[in-house]
Structure 1
Amino acid sequence: MTPRRPSPAAAAEAARVCLCVLMNHPFPSVIPILRKLYAGRFTSVLFLVPFYRCDEPDVLTVYRGSYTHAAYLTDVRERLAAVDCDHYLVVHDDVLLNPALSEATFRQTFPLGEREGYISHLFPVGGTVGDWTWLFGFAPKALHPKSHLFGSGIEGATLRQYLPGHAQIAAKFAAHGILPQRHARLRSDRMPDVERHPSRTLLHGYAATLDPSDARQAEVERHCLDAARALVEAMRHAEPAAPAGAATPPASGEGAEGAGPADAAEPVTEVELPMPVVGSGYYADLYVLPKACFDDFVHFIGVASAANFFVELMVPTLLVTCCDKVWTAETLGLDASGFAQPATLEAFRDPRFLAIHPFKLSQLSSPVRLRQFEARVHAVLRGEDYPGDLALPGLHVPGLGCAQQYLTTGWHGEESWGRWSAEPRAEVRFLLEEDDIASLELLLMAPVHARLPVVQAQLVVNGETCQALSFDVAHVERRVVIPRALLRTGGNTVDVVVERTVRPCDLDPASPDARELGLALREIQFHT
């Protein structure tokens, strides 16, 4: 597919864009940082912050949870509608946009028509509800909206009346080359995504830190999986089967593993969803909404939010439904990989590289840190090498994000939550300037097991032993703070040292993991 590019005349024309910065949780302390980052780039910048009240005209209070954050726009629809713009660029506070993106360059990046929008990725959603956690969460709310446990109390007929109809959505999906899936399978014997961590689905959410060696946690996981299977069985018996001859939907969702054999041991029931949906693969933290489609979108997303339908399904579904065309990173020739894998600021040298996510700005709160960050960004945009690899903020779990650059030798590759050390001594290296930070904090985890109940380790800072660490079943993780007094201006090295590495397959014959593991580094934070 040849990516769409703007005409020279259109690319040269400055766009009228309202930048809407959304926060999943109230972090007003980062608003001054964001103001400085976006100053001079966008005429209208508004911050939509849940529950936080203040008198600043660019800060708007909203009243939704993070699973329905797109309906922040509904909460402040009158204020947004009054903005003189052609498009709303909706981003989250932990999305670091390419610094070259501004109103002046917007049309070069997003050559959109009056009724055209953008989201980085689209894929059809259907198949078996347990193939993807968020489909598992959507189906009960959509099919049983009056449930006291997970429902919203809205009548099913009301949802069908005030959300777009199947025919309308299906026609828009078809225009985008997406096969609408009207039915989904209910089967309790096959829920691969839910089975991985059932308590994250039923109780804790994805941000939970789970300890597989904790016997109590294992018991919670077992009960949650039993409850998930029981719920599917209850729904399977409560819902009428799909009409005879209904098309069998393929499994879908990011990472779906197929629908399984038709003659499964467990009975399978197909149910009709109230609306077909598409997913965005966790790209709904950045999208472009045309002003011409604003009224319909904020109305429908408000209804979907009232039903507590998950935002990563509703944003792409309703964007496609309301716009004449929704472009993606693939169809515009853009690089959205910064949402799926770690990236450094040097990636911004390519103007097609959209953003880094997540990038936690809260640790740029000191003037020194912010000046360092700005200097490095400006050097990147000029194509220059920055003098030294200054320690920019580490990122919270999941993953180490931009802090990957400090892990130099002795480490395995990145995983979704962090990295394991691969050798008895693994190195973290970074530069500091005078009066730069107050302390460095590391979150470490050991491969504690019944056959390895205690793990001994040390932190060595600039060649001097800083702290001896002991991990056991009750303390699988340790949070360690290294004060500024032990660090120096210029280059610093922190070595993570263990007595010996171990292989998971030696601890548990059922494990396929034959890597040598020391300690896991889950988080790096530079405190100001």
Structure 2
Amino acid sequence: MSATLCVLFNHAYPNNIPIIRKIYEGRFKNIIFIMPFARNVGDDVITSYRGSFSFQGMIADAAPRLSEYKSDYYVFVQDDVLLNPALNEGNIEKFLGIGPKMAFFPQFYSLSGPIHRWFWTTRVVWRLFYSHNSLGGSGAEMALKYLPPKEFAEEKAKRYGISCAPITYDNIENCKVPHFSSSEHTRSLNKSLMDGLFFSAHEKRSIILPYPFVFGISDFFVLHKDVFDEFVHFQGVCAGMDLFAEVAIPSGLMVCAEQVVQCKDLGLEVDWVWGNSRENLDISYLKEKLNENFLLIHPVKLSKMGDSIDKIIEMASAFHQSPK
């Protein structure tokens, strides 16, 4: 069994590459770095010309090079995610409960309900319904027909208890809370955009998406080689539509893989650290969290960890098991 580790960068931080390589080199034989814009960084670095909202496009760009490795699994991880040191190439099937034609994704959710439920929903709806709009369109008005049939995707969604219910206008004032923007002006603009989105909706002011998309934090996922080609195509189409990556990636896995294993299926935990604690992770916290039930911690900002870097590498080495 073999696995290629694909490290995705939202921004160009080439100085972090040697650190990441030391953390994972004993656990994965093949490690590839996918980085936006920076050129001539190294033979194991693929340059992509995408922004951080479209890292699914980075995957599509890198696919020809990745396919050369002919691995059984492709493991995608963001550069600021620290995986459990016990996870390696040799035990990935057992650790994540996956096999042929399968994938792993931490957890995905239905893209339905009040539009303020997830603040990226607005972007998704604009791209899908107003692709010709000069302000927020993509110009990819015919792209959906190149995804697997809607009926097939809906059947896949039902397997995971995913509702294809409408997106609704309820409590639209919630779109003006701070997490939608740091600027009061743009938060007010968001509400105006919501009004525009729902202007032509029927009297119940709800929008039914033309495809059963889901969403979820996409900073770590794994797929089998038999899923790779269809998944890459799905990502390329979504990149063309300029959908947000955290819709494109879980939706592509749900539709293209025969089964997607999630953390809840295995009793695994993830720690998506937000707020002020993003910059204050220390080595003792990492050691406490990365026990056998924890899959990952995010974000671990390597460029800001200082002297803790050597301890992180040492901690990873202590768990080292040679890939089999």
Q: TM-score, normalised by structure 2?
A: 0.88
8 Å contact kept, 2:7–2:34: yes
**Aligned mates of 1:335, 1:234 — CA distance in 2:** 39
CA distance in structure 2 between the partners assigned to 1:35 and 1:132 by the alignment: 34
The one-letter code of the counterpart of 1:227 is L
Tell me by how many angstroms 1:37 deviates: 1.1
Q: Match for residue 211 of structure 2?
A: 275
Over residues 56-104 of structure 1, what are the superposed CA-to-partner deviations in whole Å (9 max), with x where a residue is unaligned?
2210001111111122110021111111211111000000111221112
Q: 1:199 to 1:277 in 2, by over 3 A?
A: closer
Partner of 1:339: 272
Select which of 220, 233, 244 maps to 1:286. Answer: 220
Q: Is the 8 A contact 1:134 1:310 kept in 2?
A: yes
Task: From the superposition, tell whether residues 198 and 140 of structure 1 become closer, same or farther in structure 2 (CA, over 3 Å).
Answer: farther
Q: Which whole-Å CA distance do the structure 1 matches of 2:147 and 2:195 have between them?
A: 28
Give the Cα separation in 2 of the matches to 1:377 and 1:296.
33
- Using the TM superposition, give the Cα deviation of residue 355 of structure 1 relative to its aligned residue in structure 2, in angstroms: 1.4
Give the Cα separation in 2 of the matches to 1:44 and 1:196: 44
Q: 2:186 aligned to 206, 224, 235, which one?
A: 224
Q: Which amino acid aligns with 2:145?
A: Q
Preserved CA contact (<8 Å) 2:176 2:190? no
Q: Structure 1 residues 36 and 198 mapped into 2: Cα distance closer, same or farther (>3 Å)?
A: closer
CA-to-aligned-CA distance 1:123-158 (integer Å, 9 cap, x gap): 212122233211122111111011110111122xx1
Q: How far does the alpha carbon of each residue in 1:358-404 deviate from its partner, in whole angstroms, 9 at most, with x for none?
A: 00112457xx654344345556x59xxxxxxxxxxxxxxxxxxxxxx
Correspondent of 1:180 among 154, 157, 164: 164
Q: Distance in 1 between matches of 2:148 and 2:116?
A: 25
Distance in 2 (alpha carbons) for counterparts of 1:108 and 1:198: 38
- Please point out which of 305, 310, 313 is paired with 1:371: 310
- Residue 105 (structure 1) shift: 2.3
Q: Is the 8 A contact 1:129 1:139 kept in 2?
A: no
Distance 1:100 1:29 in 2: 25
Matched, 1:17 2:8: no
Superposed displacement of residue 55, structure 1: 5.7
Do residues 299 (structure 1) and 239 (structure 2) align? no
Structure of greater relative contact order (alpha carbons < 8 Å, 6+ residues apart): 2
Whichever residue aligns with residue 153 of structure 2, its letter is I
Structure with the higher helix share, 1 or 2: 2
Q: Gaps (5+ residues) in structure 1?
A: 1-14, 201-209, 211-219, 242-266, 383-528
Aligned length: 312
Q: How does 1:83-98 map to 2 (within 5 A)?
A: 83-98=69-84
Q: Deviations over 1:31-59 (max 9, x none)?
A: 11111111121011000000111162210
Structure 1 counterpart of 2:102:
116
Q: Which amino acid aligns with 1:180?
A: C
Deviates more, 1:19-28 or 1:296-305: 296-305
Structure-to-structure mapping, 1:454-493, within 5 angstroms: none
Change in 2 beyond 3 A, CA 1:238/1:31: same
- Give % identity: 31
Q: Is the 8 A contact 1:109 1:352 kept in 2?
A: no
The whole-number CA distance in structure 2 between the counterparts of 1:154 and 1:148 is: 12
Greater fraction strand:
1
Whether 1:359 and 2:312 are equivalent positions in the alignment is no
Structure number with bigger Rg: 1
- Flag the 1:184–1:199 CA change in 2: closer, same or farther, 3 A: closer
What amino acid maps onto 1:354 in structure 2?
L
> After superposition, what is the alpha-carbon deviation per residue over 1:172-193, rounded to whole angstroms, capped at 9, x for unaligned?
0112222223x32246x5242x
Residue 166 of structure 1 pairs with residue 150 of structure 2: yes
Counterpart-to-counterpart distance in 1, 2:147 and 2:251: 11
Q: Residues of 1 paired with 2:95 and 2:315: CA distance? A: 23
Hey, what's the Cα distance between the residues in 2 that align with 1:348 and 1:180?
35
Distance 1:375 1:73 in 2: 30
Q: Give the RMSD, CA atoms, in angstroms.
A: 2.3
- Partner SS for 1:233: helix
> What is the one-letter code of the residue matched to 1:332?
L
Aligned to 1:6: none
Does the aligned pair in 1 maintain the 2:76–2:219 contact within 8 Å? yes
The alignment's TM-score, normalised by the length of structure 1, stands at: 0.55
Pairwise CA distance, 1:340? 4.5
- Cα separation, 2, equivalents of 1:169 and 1:362: 41
In the alignment, residue 85 of structure 2 is paired with which amino acid?
P
Aligned partners of 1:184 and 1:363: how far apart in 2?
40
Matched, 1:190 2:159: no
Q: Deviations over 1:15-36 (max 9, x none)?
A: 3111000000010010111111
Deviations 1:405-464 (CA, angstroms, capped at 9, x unpaired): xxxxxxxxxxxxxxxxxxxxxxxxxxxxxxxxxxxxxxxxxxxxxxxxxxxxxxxxxxxx
Gaps of 5+ in 2: none
SS in 1 for 2:156: helix
**Structure 2: distance between partners of 1:16 and 1:113:** 12
> What are the within-5 Å matches in structure 2 for residues 390-401 of structure 1?
none
The answer to whether the Cα contact below 8 Å between 1:131 and 1:191 also exists between their aligned partners in 2 is no
